[in-house]
Amino acid sequence: MISNDLHSALAPIVANYEPQQIIVVTTQNIYSCRPEVAALGYTTLILQGGEENKSLATIQVIWDFLLSHHITRRGLIICFGGGVLTDLGGFAAGTYKRGIDYVNIPTTLLAMVDASTGGKTGFNYGGLKNCIGSFYAPIETIICPMLLDSLPVSQLLSGYAEMLKHALLANDDEWNRLLRLDWNQPDMNALAPLIENSLRIKQHIVENDPHEQGLRKALNLGHTVGHSLEEIQLADLSSNDRWLHGYAVFYGLIAELYLSVVRFGFPRLPLQQLTDLMVHVYGRPHCKCSDRERLIALMLQDKKNEHADEINCTLLRAIGQPVINCIISPNEMNEALDYLFSL
Ligand SMILES: NC(=O)c1ccc[n+]([C@@H]2O[C@H](COP(=O)([O-])OP(=O)(O)OC[C@H]3O[C@@H](n4cnc5c(N)ncnc54)[C@H](O)[C@@H]3O)[C@@H](O)[C@H]2O)c1
């Protein structure tokens, strides 16, 4: 549901639970910058945010909090935050007492258009992104675009990358509409209808394949390369310079569109348009050519692979025509990474 009136949107939902059985889970950062959290008036668990805290230890903090507040199977968690928080809160809800209800109130563009819908939950483990997780859908996701007014532009761009991916899976009109957004002067009023379209594209795909048996794999476009870029940074504990999930996906889209051009004759124009966006808006990936071997090794262990020792990608024949389960050889991937790092 899309609404800037959080109270009215929540009222019919919370009416079904005893107030002492409702727990809000959020992060320190959100709690400080969004007065809407405290205004909800429910018992609130404030976690440390950040990808580095998307861990089993944080899940245990949530379980312990629920137990110590005597939350029963008739409880409700309100997950108020970005994608890290909604992934963690959803997993904790799905596993506590074999599953209690939860509602997502995403606060980043990325969480609004992607992470908070579709029911994928989980946390990072063993150095691998989202290695442990489950499918456990929220009873409702409330998209409140006004929450984006405190979000830094880099975080908006992170979400915009997932919107670009959705448009590539949908049609030329949506793609061209998205490219018209001017990132020199981002216009929040222009963003709201685009969020709605983007969500609709994702929901259409998820409803047709909730457990990722086929079509839903199309949503992995850009993510085989993207996840490996994120993982290489997770492994590098000394790096203070981590890029955001959407940036990794954005660079992944470039590499995977390159593979789509080579394998399926995908038109070059969208690849050129993404390259222009990289040069003028996102900036180049700070990766070295010598990282290629490690990236390919990480892709070979990706949980999307159906067999060990192969790289599985979603590619495109054209905008709106995804091809899932494309097996890419390490040599082909090497060439795509070469292309990306040489731009
Ligand atoms: N479950 C899924 O289907 C799915 C899909 C895509 C991504 N993800 C996951 O989502 C995560 C990334 O999510 P994210 O980009 O939202 O990151 P995030 O949750 O870490 O939030 C990004 C930053 O923005 C801050 N923030 C959030 N909302 C704000 C607001 N309104 N105003 C000011 N600051 C705000 C947060 O405190 C944080 O510092 C990754 O872990 C990724 O794996 C999950």
Query: Residues with beta carbon inside 6 Å of ligand 1?
Result: 27, 29-30, 33-34, 49-51, 54, 81-85, 87, 107-108, 110-111, 114-115, 118, 120, 129-130, 147-148, 150-151, 155, 158, 244-245
> In this structure, is residue 64 part of a structural domain?
yes
- Average pLDDT in the chain: 93
Residues 94 and 25 in one domain: yes
Quote the longest CA-to-CA distance of the chain: 58
CATH number of the domain within which 109 lies: 3.40.50.1970
CATH number of the domain within which 186 lies: 1.20.1090.10
Residues 97 and 219 in one domain: no
List 321's β-bridge partners, or say none.
318
Q: Residue 183: which domain range?
A: 154-342
- Which own/partner pairs from 233-242 qualify as long-range (CB within 8 Å, at least 24 positions apart)? 234/51, 234/52, 234/124, 234/127, 234/129, 235/127, 241/286, 242/51
How many other CB atoms are there within 10 angstroms of residue 19's CB atom?
Answer: 10
DSSP letter, residue 343: -
Number of domains making up the chain: 2
Mutate to test the pocket of ligand 1, among 51, 107, 233, 234 (most ligand atoms within 8 A of CB): 107
Domain-ending residue, one of 120, 150, 180? 150
**Helix, strand, coil: what percent of the chain each, to 5?**
55, 15, 25
Residues 55 and 128 in one domain: yes
> In this structure, is residue 111 part of a structural domain?
yes
Confidence of residue 211 (pLDDT cuts 50, 70, 90): confident
Q: Tell me which residue has its CA closest to atom 18 in ligand 1.
A: 82
Residues 171 and 46 in one domain: no
pLDDT digits (tens, 9 = 90+) for 144-159: 999 999 999 999 999 9
Centroid of ligand 1 to alpha carbon of 240 (angstroms): 18
**pLDDT of 240 higher than 80:** no
Q: Which of 189, 196, 216 is nearest to 113 (CA)?
A: 196
How many other CB atoms are there within 10 angstroms of residue 86's CB atom?
Answer: 30
Residues 55 and 130 in one domain: yes
Query: What percent of the chain lies above the pLDDT cut of 90?
Result: 79
> In this structure, is residue 74 part of a structural domain?
yes
Q: Which residue has the higher pLDDT, 236 or 43?
A: 43
> In this structure, is residue 160 part of a structural domain?
yes
Q: Which of 66-75, 242-251, 309-318 has the highest mean pLDDT?
A: 66-75
Residues 161 and 145 in one domain: no
**pLDDT of 130 higher than 90:** no
Residues 327 and 180 in one domain: yes
Residues 119 and 158 in one domain: no
> In this structure, is residue 1 part of a structural domain?
no
> In this structure, is residue 127 part of a structural domain?
yes
Atom of ligand 1 nearest to the CA of 162: 6
pLDDT at 214 (0 to 100): 83
pLDDT at 295 (0 to 100): 94
Residues 206 and 337 in one domain: yes
Confidence of residue 237 (pLDDT cuts 50, 70, 90): low
DSSP letter, residue 192: H
> In this structure, is residue 168 part of a structural domain?
yes
pLDDT digits (tens, 9 = 90+) for 3-25: 989 999 999 999 999 999 999 99
Mutate to test the pocket of ligand 1, among 4, 54, 84 (most ligand atoms within 8 A of CB): 84
Indicate yes or no: pTM above 0.75. yes
Residues 186 and 321 in one domain: yes
Residues 144 and 97 in one domain: yes
Q: Give the span between the Cα atoms of 199 and 202, in whole angstroms.
A: 5
Q: CA dist 174 to 179, 225, 319, 323, 329, Å?
A: 9, 24, 10, 19, 32
pLDDT digits (tens, 9 = 90+) for 285-343: 888 777 899 999 999 987 677 776 789 999 999 999 999 999 999 999 999 999 999 98
Domain-ending residue, one of 95, 119, 150? 150
Residues 199 and 231 in one domain: yes
**pLDDT of 255 higher than 70:** yes
> In this structure, is residue 337 part of a structural domain?
yes
Atom of ligand 1 nearest to the CA of 84: 19
Domain-ending residue, one of 94, 120, 150? 150
